[in-house]
Amino acid sequence: MSNKHTELLPALIALDWGTSSLRAFLLGNAGQVLQTRSTAQGLQALPLPGAAGFEKAFADIAGDWLASWPQLPVVAGGMVGSAQGWKEAPYVRCPVDVGALARHSVSVPSGVGVDVVIAPGLLLDEADNPPDVIRGEEIQIAGALATNPALVEAATLVMPGTHSKWVQITAGQITHFSSYMTGEIFSVLVKHSILGRLMTEPASEEPSSAQAAFAQGVEAARHSQPGDFTHQIFAARTLGLTQRLPQPVLKNYLSGLLIGHELVSGLAKASAQRQTQGPLLLIGEPSLCQRYAQAFAILGVPVTGLLDNPAPRGLWEFAKALGLIHPPQDALH
Amino acid sequence: MSNKHTELLPALIALDWGTSSLRAFLLGNAGQVLQTRSTAQGLQALPLPGAAGFEKAFADIAGDWLASWPQLPVVAGGMVGSAQGWKEAPYVRCPVDVGALARHSVSVPSGVGVDVVIAPGLLLDEADNPPDVIRGEEIQIAGALATNPALVEAATLVMPGTHSKWVQITAGQITHFSSYMTGEIFSVLVKHSILGRLMTEPASEEPSSAQAAFAQGVEAARHSQPGDFTHQIFAARTLGLTQRLPQPVLKNYLSGLLIGHELVSGLAKASAQRQTQGPLLLIGEPSLCQRYAQAFAILGVPVTGLLDNPAPRGLWEFAKALGLIHPPQDALH
pLDDT at B321 > cutoff 80: yes
Q: Which of B207, B305, B219 is nearest to B260 (CA)?
A: B219
pLDDT above 90 covers a percentage of chain B that reads: 87
Whether A261 is in a domain gets the answer yes
Same domain for B129 and B8, yes or no, is: yes
Whether A188 is in a domain gets the answer yes
Whether B168 is in a domain gets the answer no
Same domain for A49 and A114, yes or no, is: yes
The number of CA neighbours under 13 Å toward the Cβ of A7 is 7
Q: Is B227 on the interface with A (CB under 8 A)?
A: yes
Cβ–Cβ gap A265/B238 under 8 Å: no
Q: Is A242 on the interface with B (CB under 8 A)?
A: yes
Same domain for B316 and B296, yes or no, is: no
* Average of per-residue pLDDT across A11-15: 98
Question: H or E stretch including A115?
Answer: strand A115-118
Cβ–Cβ gap A238/B130 under 8 Å: yes
**A 183-202 near B (Cβ less than 8 A):** 184-185, 188-189, 191-194
Q: Is A230 on the interface with B (CB under 8 A)?
A: yes
Query: What pLDDT, in 10s, does the model give residues B48-94?
Result: 999 999 999 999 999 999 999 999 999 999 999 999 999 999 999 99
Q: Which of B72, B65, B58 is nearest to B35 (CA)?
A: B65
- Indicate which CATH number applies to the domain containing A219: 3.30.420.310
Which is more confident, A133 or A5? A133
Same domain for B28 and B104, yes or no, is: yes
Same domain for B268 and B242, yes or no, is: yes
Q: What is the distance in angstroms between the Cα of B6 and the nearest Cα belonging to chain A?
A: 46
Same domain for A193 and A317, yes or no, is: no
Q: Is A220 on the interface with B (CB under 8 A)?
A: yes
Q: Which residues are CB-neighbours of A157 under 8 A, at least 6 positions away? A: A141, A144, A151, A165, A166, A167, A168, A169, A280, A281, A283
Q: Is B67 on the interface with A (CB under 8 A)?
A: no
Partners of residue B220 in chain A, C-beta under 8 Å: 130
pLDDT-derived band at B1 (thresholds 50, 70, 90) equals very low
Work out the mean pLDDT of chain B and round it to a whole number. Answer: 92
Nearest-CB residue to A182 (from B184, B230, B232): B230
- Indicate which CATH number applies to the domain containing A126: 3.30.420.300
Whether B133 is in a domain gets the answer yes
Q: What is the distance in angstroms between the Cα of B116 and the nearest Cα belonging to chain A?
A: 24
Distance, CA of A12 to CA of A315 (rounded, Å): 9
Residue type present at position A333: H
Query: What pLDDT, in 10s, does the model give residues A55-86?
Result: 999 999 999 999 999 999 999 999 999 999 99
Nearest-CB residue to A234 (from B132, B260, B264): B132
Same domain for B318 and B199, yes or no, is: no
Q: Taken in order A309, A313, A314, A319, is the CA torsion positive or negative?
A: positive
Distance, CA of B259 to CA of B257 (rounded, Å): 6
Number of domains in chain A: 2
Residue of A nearest to B216 (CA): A130
Whether B250 is in a domain gets the answer yes
Partners of residue B184 in chain A, C-beta under 8 Å: 193-194
The strand pair at A122-124 and A92-93 is best described as parallel
- Report the pLDDT value the prediction gives residue A239, as an integer from 0 to 100: 97
pLDDT-derived band at B205 (thresholds 50, 70, 90) equals low
pLDDT at B2 > cutoff 50: no
Partners of residue A185 in chain B, C-beta under 8 Å: 193, 230, 233
Whether A156 is in a domain gets the answer no
Is residue A184 within 8 Å of A162, Cβ to Cβ? yes
Same domain for A281 and A319, yes or no, is: no
Partners of residue A221 in chain B, C-beta under 8 Å: 227
Question: The domain containing residue B79 runs over which residues?
Answer: 3-149+312-332
Whether B159 is in a domain gets the answer no
Nearest-CB residue to A265 (from B225, B244, B268): B225
- Report the pLDDT value the prediction gives residue B327, as an integer from 0 to 100: 67
* Complete DSSP assignment for B133-173: EESSHHHHHHHHHHH-GGGSSEEEEEE-STTEEEEEEETTE
Q: Is B247 on the interface with A (CB under 8 A)?
A: no
Same domain for B17 and B135, yes or no, is: yes
Query: What pLDDT, in 10s, does the model give residues A277-318?
Result: 789 999 999 999 999 999 999 999 999 999 988 999 999 999
Output the CA–CA distances (angstroms, integers) from residue B314 to B106, B119, B145, in the order listed.
Answer: 17, 11, 9
Query: What pLDDT, in 10s, does the model give residues B213-251?
Result: 999 999 999 999 999 999 999 999 999 999 999 999 999
The strand pair at B164-170 and B154-159 is best described as antiparallel
* Complete DSSP assignment for B7-28: HTSEEEEEEEE-SS-EEEEEEE
Distance, CA of A108 to CA of A116 (rounded, Å): 5
Q: In what side-by-side order are the strands of the sheet with A22-28?
A: A33-39, A22-28, A10-17, A74-77, A115-118, A106-109
Nearest-CB residue to B265 (from A123, A228, A261): A228
Which is more confident, B127 or A109? A109
pLDDT-derived band at A328 (thresholds 50, 70, 90) equals low
Same domain for A93 and A204, yes or no, is: no
Same domain for B126 and B15, yes or no, is: yes
Nearest-CB residue to A221 (from B123, B227, B244): B227
Q: What is the distance in angstroms between the Cα of A176 and the nearest Cα belonging to chain B?
A: 14
Same domain for B135 and B270, yes or no, is: no
pLDDT-derived band at A1 (thresholds 50, 70, 90) equals very low
* Complete DSSP assignment for A178-232: EEE-HHHHHHHHHHHSGGGGG-PPPSS--HHHHHHHHHHHHHHHHT--TT-HHHH
Partners of residue A241 in chain B, C-beta under 8 Å: 83, 131, 133
Whether A254 is in a domain gets the answer yes
Q: Which residues are CB-neighbours of A46 under 8 A, at least 6 positions away? A: A53, A54, A56, A57
Cβ–Cβ gap A133/B182 under 8 Å: no
Q: Is A264 on the interface with B (CB under 8 A)?
A: yes
